[in-house]
Structure 1
Amino acid sequence: MKIGIAADHGGFTMKERLVQALRSAGHEVTDFGAFSLDPADDYPDFVIPLAGAVAKGEVERGIALCSSGVGASIAASKVRGVRAALIHDNFSAHQGVEDDDMNVICLGSLVVGYAQAWDLVSSFLAARFSGAERHRRRLAKVAALER
């Protein structure tokens, strides 16, 4: 799968570990930065390009990280066509895709440890949108808000 990933300084170390794990698992990974640990950087500078790539179909799914995951989630959700959510539990990691066609998972590196983050990302990537009529109907209402 083509995966995009981005993080500010708060998620930088976890991003670096996830990039290696994703590549080892056979995924094609596009890293949107940060490319160095800079405490003065800003999450929108990395998360917005990632979200844009997801919206354009340049990557199939996105992973956005910051310290809490909140800022990354807010920024990614502002991009039309992106369905991003802050995830801290396995059920939401797969259910968000199955029911809500979530295409960007947001994680807080100070909220979840690496092992849990990898588990959440793995569940997110393995999940598929159900396509059920009720879910399509709800997503159409959300998409109408973007227009």
Structure 2
Amino acid sequence: MTIEKITVAKLLKLEQEKSIELSEDFFEALKPEDGQFAVIILNLNRKSVRIIPTSTEKIYKVSINIDKLAQDFFQKVSNLFYEMNIKSLYSTGLCFVDNKCVYDLYIDSVEYEKIDEAKLKDNIMKIDGITTIDIESISV
């Protein structure tokens, strides 16, 4: 009996100024059906990289700074995203940076353009403990 493959790994030497090439099995597994793009996200705390396929050449990063984390933070954020029909590519969960709590969310441009940005910012700022929100576009 064979074991179904759920991961692909490649060991490489990290060298500054040197490109990282994806083998054919990586490339085929990552390539989205309807596009040719991917967002590469480096988690600075965990020192891990995520490569997430997308069909768009532009994405948005929504960063939320949290001063005091309320117990119902995730519930309120999840409800807000559900009510606004926000579909994300990736979210970090909570990350602590220099005694600050940060939550990042990545959204592709097709999904983001369906959102009323002013309403999103206003509704996020209504959640207890949130101090700032920053939205950054990232393009190829």
TM-score calculated relative to the size of structure 2: 0.27
TM-score calculated relative to the size of structure 1: 0.26
If asked which structure has higher relative contact order (CA below 8 Å, sep 6+), I would say 2
Larger radius of gyration: 2
